[in-house]
Structure 1
Amino acid sequence: MNGAISRKWWISMGVTAVLLALLGITGAAMAQNPGWDDAVPSASLSLAPGGGPSETMAFSYQGRLLDAGAPANGSYDFIIELYDNPTVGSPLASCSNVGTGSLLNQPVQNGLFTFYLICGGDNSAVFTAGGRWIQVQARRTGTTIYTTLPRQPISPTPYAFSLYPGAVISGTAWGNGFGSSLVNLYNNNLLYSALHVQAASSSAVRAESVNGNPFYGYTENGYGVYAYDGGAAQARGYAGYFSSANGVGVYGYSNGTRTHPNIYSPGVYGRSTNGVGVYGRSDASTTSWTSAGVLGWGRGNPGGKFLSYTGNLIEGWEDQNGDGSLLSLRFKVSNSGNVYADGSYNCGLASGCFNAGVGAGMAERIEVSESLSPGDLVEIDPQNPGQFRLSRTAYSTLAAGVVSTNPAITLNNNDLTKDDTAERTDTRPLLALVGQVPVKVSAENGPIFLGDLLVTSSTPGHAMKAGPNPRIGTIVGKALGTLEEGVGVIQMLVTLQ
């Protein structure tokens, strides 16, 4: 045969991944879809004997060599190359035997041989996307002519080497309904994870999607997404961090029925034993209502509810340096409902403030001994302590003020309910304390002009122009309108003296 090997031979090939990290684990594995039309059979992952450092990236190649129709015996030389086409093209890489470092002078017994191959120096670099084929050339050791054998397709197991490092798993999820997946991991163990990913300083897991959900978590009795930050002594640590270039960093939705202990059925739930449960930040430079670190929006319900067992219900802090290094508490609502604020209150928004923006004063609910109407001038009722009545005499030192028409702020309300609705049930008159208010006036002491001091008149419930040097305690306000004669209603600035 002139040293040549007859083509009447065949090689039965089995591929076993030599993955030290997979010691004791067996199961189906397929990565980097080879692109075959038929279904790819699953391959068993196991530990090959030897286990040297270089063998962690090798795969076993086993064959049966026939020489002139009989099982070959003796020493043979081999050339093994890797292709990405079953018949044409140049080799992607040459393969070497990890066990001996060479494919020359290899023992063959009863036609059987086994190699542990690395192709191109690193199997992870050549077993990526697309199919792969092995081409074997063989000759008896000591002869010169190699016999080239037909290329053999590679089973899926070596493609798992592309998962270490820099995995790229691509393909199309099978199925035609909700829940189809490209990769499925199952775990029934209560203590261990189906997937564990670790990174020293960069991202351990990164998910991207152009038009879909980069990450989807589902659970029936647990956490759809659970993240834990163990760096208690770190300056910054987040169990979960989400950002969006043009949308919502975190969106939570819940349609669950509220039952104990899940009485809230929250879309987003955050908890911390020593820090912030939920942290929201906005770097937008606009002042739109949508530009907020945390936005609460309610339709028929409150946009936000705040509960505290012993601490303040709400706190507002000023970030003086813009980086969180210097904070000052500017506003708070205590657990008992008291409100504290640094700075002044400014009213006058386009939509008004407090009571619909019509009034501009402050008034208090009062007890009365007779029926009163807005604009009435009232005095203390000497017959009924703690109650008020219409003023009755001129220059009365019992003068108390005017019944307000629509104040901005009301005090001493006794109709506050749990929800504090806009429908007021306390109908007691409101006595103006500060601000501008309509008042009933009489010209019995002469025409009233702007700036005139006003006192009680002999007309019940009406004010009149004060004469020279009125007694202390009789002045109720200063006229902001005029009245030539008779009776009428003008604006008055409340200035009790």
Structure 2
Amino acid sequence: MHDNVIGESKDAKVPAVKGDYTGTGPEYVHDGGKGVQGHSQNGYGVHGISEVGRGVVAESDSNYGLRATSRTLSAARCSSTEGTGVEGEAGGAGDGVRGTSKTGNGVHGISETGYGVKGESNSGRGVAAFSDTNYGLRATSRTLSAARCSSPEGTGVEGEAGGAGDGVRGTSKTGNGVHGISETAYGLRGESNSGRGVAAFSDTNYGLRAVSRTLAAARCSSTNGNGVEGEARGAGTGIVGTSVTGVGVFGKGGRLAGRFEGDVEVTGDIRLTNADFAEDFNVIEDAEPGEVMVLTATDTLQPCTKAYDKKVVGVISGAGNYKPGIILDKQNDDADRKPIAMMGKVYCKVDADISPIETGDMLTTSAIAGYAMKAVDPMKSFGAVIGKALAPLAGGRGLIPILVVLQ
């Protein structure tokens, strides 16, 4: 014989089964009376089924609408064949879903193919994680990235530390601590208002290693400071540049592309793309590139004004398409100094009216201010020869390339 209570109602305003507890109950709510109590030894205590409505609706004016407790398993297990397993909604400022645990997980989400936990927000944070003493958020993956953050328009990952902590910190035992990849912009970009944009340290290996398959491995620029500064406090080298087929170190700057304090050792060839070996001298203000310069009684050079002048020093470098390859005694703060080519190729002003100039002719000073001429008197030429003509000039005055060889 079964002692069942069967209720049936066709009126939506009348419950099929209704249980009321009208007593006041003891002090604690959970020790009070029950409107309806269902008990089962191995099945459902209460089983609610509805074809179009809710299976069970639980409401309370001042406490939990539904409280589920289990001494061994999950307090509540919600499943849906096609819809959402658990859906929580808070009409005001409360939590849509809230999970708390003393020693376990507050919320544990598991998915075989989708997201374990997914948070969405129209204007707030999709997921906010906080902790007073430990990680605000800890993500672990056995095979892929522990966390993948993406944004269609904004920043993929943004880290902020209010105090002395790290904004973003990446550590790895055998892989990359932080790996940044970009298709068109910087793979890794560091900025600082007063500190270092990027600081790289290593106890046993490279503090920073940059590799590029097509362009420069690293490009450093500074608006007002040094583009690259290398310092070795011990026996190491401030800057080491090596290359199999390209350029080991490439420096590009307006005033200085590179500056080295101390000795520079080169184990290979030094290649200078410009033409002559020059040294800075004080010159008169109106002297210009290509003019032949001679010594004066002071330390200022002036254009030559007589033929076969043994006080000849060289030619002002920079005329035509030849530029000085090496400049000695460079002093950028003195505007009256100019590089004088003392060896190598340079364009020089020459006068061919006295005698036509052919390629290979020896040249000396002339009486025309700043101009060279063909040296036709061997006796007067000794000590007054500037160099050899590298191009002919049949007559008149012009600018030709010469090889500076002071004799």
Indicate the TM-score class for this superposition, using the shorter chain for normalisation.
0.5 to 0.7
Residue 78 (structure 1) aligned to one of 36, 39, 43: 43
How well do the aligned residues superpose, as a CA RMSD in angstroms? 5.1
Residue 345 (structure 1) aligned to one of 271, 295, 298: 271
Residue 88 (structure 1) aligned to one of 51, 55, 72: 51
Task: Map 1:342-421; keep pairs closer than 5 Å.
Answer: 342-345=268-271, 347=273, 360-367=275-282, 374-380=289-295, 391=304, 394-406=307-319, 407-409=323-325, 411-416=327-332
Aligned mates of 1:271, 1:128 — CA distance in 2: 53
- Residue 201 of structure 1 deviates from its aligned partner by 5.9
In 1, are the aligned partners of 2:317 and 2:324 still within 8 Å (CA)?
A: no
Please give the secondary structure, in 2, of the residue aligned with 1:366: strand
Aligned mates of 1:81, 1:481 — CA distance in 2: 114
Deviations 1:275-297 (A, max 9, x none): 444444444x5xxxxx5544445
Please give the secondary structure, in 2, of the residue aligned with 1:162: coil
In 1, are the aligned partners of 2:349 and 2:372 still within 8 Å (CA)?
A: yes
Aligned mates of 1:315, 1:388 — CA distance in 2: 40
In 2, are the aligned partners of 1:375 and 1:404 still within 8 Å (CA)?
A: yes
- Residue 364 of structure 1 deviates from its aligned partner by 1.6
Residue 222 (structure 1) aligned to one of 164, 175, 180: 164
Task: Map 1:20-99; keep pairs closer than 5 Å.
Answer: 76-79=41-44, 87-88=50-51
Aligned mates of 1:396, 1:113 — CA distance in 2: 112
Amino acid at match of 1:220: G
Amino acid at match of 2:177: A
In 1, are the aligned partners of 2:293 and 2:304 still within 8 Å (CA)?
A: yes
Please list every run of 5 or more consecutive structure 1 residues that lacks an aligned counterpart in the other structure. Answer: 12-61, 90-111, 134-154, 259-263, 286-290, 321-326, 348-352, 354-359, 417-423
Deviations 1:216-247 (A, max 9, x none): 2122223453325364xx5xx43211222444
* 2:374 equivalent to 1:465: yes
Specify the alignment match of 1:304 in structure 2: 227
Residue 317 (structure 1) aligned to one of 218, 233, 242: 242
Deviations 1:11-45 (A, max 9, x none): 9xxxxxxxxxxxxxxxxxxxxxxxxxxxxxxxxxx
* 2:129 equivalent to 1:185: yes
- Residue 482 of structure 1 deviates from its aligned partner by 1.3
Q: Compared with structure 1, are the counterparts of its residues 81 and 172 closer, same or farther at alpha carbon in structure 2 (3 Å cutoff)? A: farther
Aligned mates of 2:338, 2:83 — CA distance in 1: 83
Residue 484 (structure 1) aligned to one of 395, 401, 405: 395
Specify the alignment match of 1:27 in structure 2: none
Aligned mates of 2:328, 2:153 — CA distance in 1: 56
Higher strand share: 1
Specify the alignment match of 2:356 in structure 1: 447
Task: Map 1:38-187; keep pairs closer than 5 Å.
Answer: 76-79=41-44, 87-88=50-51, 116-117=72-73, 130-131=84-85, 160-163=107-110, 168-173=116-121, 176=123, 180-187=124-131
* 2:176 equivalent to 1:238: yes
Aligned mates of 1:71, 1:369 — CA distance in 2: 112
Aligned mates of 1:280, 1:328 — CA distance in 2: 14
Specify the alignment match of 1:194 in structure 2: 136
TM-score by length of 1: 0.53
Amino acid at match of 1:477: G
Q: Compared with structure 1, are the counterparts of its residues 334 and 212 closer, same or farther at alpha carbon in structure 2 (3 Å cutoff)? A: closer
Aligned mates of 2:170, 2:119 — CA distance in 1: 31
In 1, are the aligned partners of 2:318 and 2:346 still within 8 Å (CA)?
A: no
Aligned mates of 2:141, 2:238 — CA distance in 1: 39
In 1, are the aligned partners of 2:79 and 2:85 still within 8 Å (CA)?
A: no
Specify the alignment match of 1:495 in structure 2: 404
* 2:246 equivalent to 1:336: no
Aligned mates of 1:113, 1:375 — CA distance in 2: 99
Matched residue pairs, number? 345
Specify the alignment match of 1:208 in structure 2: 150
Please give the secondary structure, in 1, of the residue aligned with 2:109: helix
Specify the alignment match of 2:23 in structure 1: none
Amino acid at match of 1:411: I
Amino acid at match of 2:327: L
Amino acid at match of 1:308: E
Aligned mates of 2:312, 2:250 — CA distance in 1: 38
- Residue 78 of structure 1 deviates from its aligned partner by 1.6
Please give the secondary structure, in 2, of the residue aligned with 1:315: coil
- Residue 181 of structure 1 deviates from its aligned partner by 1.5
Please list every run of 5 or more consecutive structure 2 residues that lacks an aligned counterpart in the other structure. Answer: 8-16, 21-29, 53-67, 88-96, 100-104, 252-257
In 2, are the aligned partners of 1:392 and 1:457 still within 8 Å (CA)?
A: yes
Aligned mates of 1:71, 1:429 — CA distance in 2: 105
Q: Compared with structure 1, are the counterparts of its residues 87 and 272 closer, same or farther at alpha carbon in structure 2 (3 Å cutoff)? A: farther
Amino acid at match of 2:278: A
Aligned mates of 2:42, 2:303 — CA distance in 1: 122
Aligned mates of 1:411, 1:3 — CA distance in 2: 112
* 2:212 equivalent to 1:249: no
In 1, are the aligned partners of 2:363 and 2:373 still within 8 Å (CA)?
A: yes
Amino acid at match of 1:436: V
